[in-house]
Chain A
Amino acid sequence: MADTEHKVKEPLFHIAKRSSIVWWKAWLIRLGAILLALIVSGLVSFLLTKENPLRIYAVMIDGAFGTKRRLWSLGQNIAMLLCVSVAVAPAFKMKFWNIGAEGQVLAGGLASAACMILLGDSLPNPVLLLIMIVASIGAGALWGVIPAIFKARWNTNETLFTLMMNYIAIQLVSFFVYKFSVPKGSGQVGIINRTSHAGWLPVYFDMEYLLNIVVVLMITFVVYVYLNQTKHGYEISVVGESENTARYVGISVKKVIIRTMLVSGAICGMAGLLLVAGTDHTISRDTASGRGFTAIMVAWMAKFNPFFMILTSFLIVFLEKGATEISTEFGLNESFSEIITGIILFFIIGCEFFIQYSVKFRKKEVA
């Protein structure tokens, strides 16, 4: 063919969708993205702080794994984030944009705090714990199911609705914190049942957060099975992919929406319990500390596979811990750590594009 007279040039590169990719290639791309992220953020931090990037990374790693205490705190934080992520996964898999996990966690936390304060001295501990579990799961489920019912009945927008439910939950917590505050009017609840430890989750083998971590791992496993091996999980996938197909095979879309949000909210409620009774032993507006939103990212990055979420939540928590450590160690403000976290996440999320698509460069034309 006489291509020589071509007056136009083909564009320098174009993007084509990949039909499939071998798994190791996908992981190679991901690994490359992490390396690139480290190089870029190293460069940025060098330019801003004039510190040796390697030293910065060393401090980051030290911040996350440095001491036994830090290691446990890392594990605890991963577990909590994982728990909320696993909780939102069923809803998102159903394409129900639940951004109300924050509120659902708070509702669960508030319920268990209320039980601890109101019933702490009058009931034996096992009975109290049982009531707390029921109450917090119930509260979380309630907070999740209200938007679901409205969505199923009147097709309201679940994104706005769940967001609004967050604000209600936060204000409710504020109200009760004021009510329960010790001393009265201080606006703080303080450590609940500091001496009696009534309603505190038991500590085994002297390891403070062991129970939390084990419980969350169990929940993760159960949700994995629920999503992949059960009829309910199958229905969630069908509704998420195509409501028309669901109706066609006789799945009640309304029922599935309501049921799934009950499950999702219940697990969030459980996370609230673990936070209040197993970690903080107090309640405040910040008990959930943004995990309800971070969890959405964690779940998406893991493509709703609960086991991958262990990895992604580890990544996020590690970055947060490490970045905070850099800020204090080098006397920078917190914004710097957020810059680093932002750069690394940008690369990790951005690389998914290159797994989905390939970039083809213009071939050199042979004259």
Chain B
Amino acid sequence: MQAQKSEVPAIRLEGITKQFGSVIANDHVDLSVKHGQILAILGENGSGKTTLMNMIAGIYFPDHGRIFVDGEEVVIRSPKDAFKYGIGMIHQHFKLVDVFTAAENIMLGLEEKGKFSIKQCEKRVKEISEQYGFELDPSKKIYEMSVSEKQTVEIIKVLYRNANILILDEPTAVLAPQETEKLFNVLRKMRDDGKAIIIITHKLHEVLSLSDQVTVLCKGKYAGTVDTDKTNESQLTEMMVGKKVTLSIDRSEPKNCTPRLKVDNLNYSLKDGTQILKNISFTVNSGEILGIAGVAGSGQRELLECIAGLRKSEGEILYFDPKSEETIDLHSKKPLEIREMGVRLSFVPEDRLGMGLVGNMDIIDNILLRDYRNGKLVFLDKSDSKELAEQIIKDLEVVTPNASTPVRLLSGGNVQKVLVGREIAASPTVLMAAYPVRGLDINSSYTIYNLLNKQKENGSAVVFVGEDLDVLMALSDRILVMCAGAVSGVVDARTATKEEIGLMMIRNKHQKGNN
């Protein structure tokens, strides 16, 4: 399978070190990939994977260390240098011009001599597509494309520039399982064609199914390289975290389930008429976790924001109060009105620093956000927030110099602990969390899972929007699958298979198996 495997590595790094201020992002990292090989770089968020790759792609310049391409030492000072050596990077966030076509984007910035011809470019794009099995219409405009198509454009862009060494930064984060499999097939074809491929990821099962070798980074340090067929998940995790961890979520049976929140025929459109949510109906019960699965951007964020009163929607959102046993309609209520009606609805939004918290304010002031109205007369009363801040720092093990540190200086996991801690402190009857573990390391992720589980055991109705299907299936009791703004179905998380959910994520069954 691995043809043309020459002995000289396509790219080799030796003792690469990069420091930002007092933070050492990469500490003497070694790495090597041969032609016709796929190397996975594995590490938790913040372990320096992207920094390392950016140094190969010419975006950063290493403080120490050497880079060899095909056995010769090179100096890469800019992305242009990187292209010269046949290195192409596909970034996590696409860098495309929306109103241009695929071919135009691919040609952009090329310094080719001779006539500028879109036709010729389109022809070559077609050739490349056929060679590796991509599906792409070169004259399609970027804004009409799905995420996976945009990614294809980015990949063809570097192939068009004759890249032999491809670096992909978390390419599967935005893809459904089926699309991921398609991408992997393309990558395998490119490997067989003799290209050297480096793929950054933190998903273990992808590493195991795709790569030939794995280089693991742990907190910026080189933790070792292993052959994929000689390793397993637990060994890799141990290398990644630096100590043994047990990865299991303790899922209890739901207790005392009564309907708590019922969404009926919810529709939401943007001002320009684009319909984001289509006839959404579902029920969340007390004492259960309802997972929401779907490809990124299927309307999950908007759905939660509609329920929280941040967007104006049409339809019914009914809340069944556990104490008074009254039914309250939350539809078209603003967040403050919802709170004033005595509905204890907590919401952990996707955008932590842009919506849930204020980055420049300290922990105390951020805790204060929820209750600042309680102070006497016109003045603020911070005493309760101070106490609560100390409590959260202690209980959730938030790593911070003190409670008056601006939250933007904390790491992603600690930021999330502050946010979730604040929302849970209000002892919610409904807790909604959108991608609560995105960007978090394994330990922090499990802390968050446990907190959600505890809320469920305390009888709140928990809504959990997640991206990792394995986690969704291990944590939730039921999973609602969304596709293009509609519900494709609700499945039992204990019995459903990944394939089943994956199919529902991309093929809309138009409101059938809805409860």
Residues of chain A touching chain B, judged by Cβ–Cβ distance below 8 Å, are: 1-3, 5, 7-8, 10-11, 16-19, 229-235, 237-238, 241-242, 244-245, 247-250, 252
Report Cα–Cα, A301/B356, bound state, in Å.
30
Residues of chain B touching chain A, judged by Cβ–Cβ distance below 8 Å, are: 15, 20-22, 61, 63-66, 73, 75, 77, 308, 310, 334-337, 339, 347, 349, 351, 353-361, 365, 368-370, 372-373, 375, 378-380, 409
Q: Which of B65, B73, B354, B361 contacts A244 (CB 8 A)?
A: B354
Q: Which of B75, B354, B357, B372 contacts A231 (CB 8 A)?
A: B372
Residue contact B379 to A241, C-beta cutoff 8 Å: no
Main secondary structure, interface of B, reads: mixed
Q: Which of A10, A232, A234, A250 contacts B334 (CB 8 A)?
A: A250
Q: Which residues of A contact B63 (CB under 8 A)?
A: 10
Chain B nearest CB: distance from A12 CB in Å?
A: 13
Identify the closest chain A residue to B381 (Cβ). Answer: A231
Residue contact A3 to B358, C-beta cutoff 8 Å: no
Given contacts A234-B372, A242-B358, A244-B355, contact A19 B380 (CB under 8 A): no
Q: Which residues of A contact B373 (CB under 8 A)?
A: 231
Given contacts A245-B356, A249-B335, contact A19 B22 (CB under 8 A): yes
Chain B nearest CB: distance from A367 CB in Å?
A: 14
Q: Which residues of B contact A249 (CB under 8 A)?
A: 335, 369-370
Residue contact B21 to A17, C-beta cutoff 8 Å: yes
Residue contact A10 to B61, C-beta cutoff 8 Å: yes
Report Cα–Cα, A232/B377, bound state, in Å.
11
Chain B nearest CB: distance from A32 CB in Å?
A: 22
Report Cα–Cα, A238/B360, bound state, in Å.
10
Chain A nearest CB: distance from B253 CB in Å?
A: 33
Report Cα–Cα, A73/B351, bound state, in Å.
52
Chain B nearest CB: distance from A13 CB in Å?
A: 13
Identify the closest chain A residue to B23 (Cβ). Answer: A19
Residue contact B335 to A241, C-beta cutoff 8 Å: no
Q: Which residues of B contact A1 (CB under 8 A)?
A: 15, 64-65
Q: Which residues of A contact B354 (CB under 8 A)?
A: 242, 244-245
Q: Which residues of B contact A8 (CB under 8 A)?
A: 75, 77
Q: Which residues of B contact A19 (CB under 8 A)?
A: 21-22, 409
Chain B nearest CB: distance from A360 CB in Å?
A: 10
Chain A nearest CB: distance from B465 CB in Å?
A: 16
Report Cα–Cα, A17/B21, bound state, in Å.
7
Chain B nearest CB: distance from A229 CB in Å?
A: 6
Q: Which residues of A contact B370 (CB under 8 A)?
A: 249
Q: Which of B66, B310, B368 contacts A247 (CB 8 A)?
A: B310
Residue contact B73 to A248, C-beta cutoff 8 Å: no
Given contacts A7-B73, A16-B21, A242-B355, contact A234 B368 (CB under 8 A): yes
Chain A nearest CB: distance from B198 CB in Å?
A: 23
Q: Which residues of B contact A245 (CB under 8 A)?
A: 354-358, 369
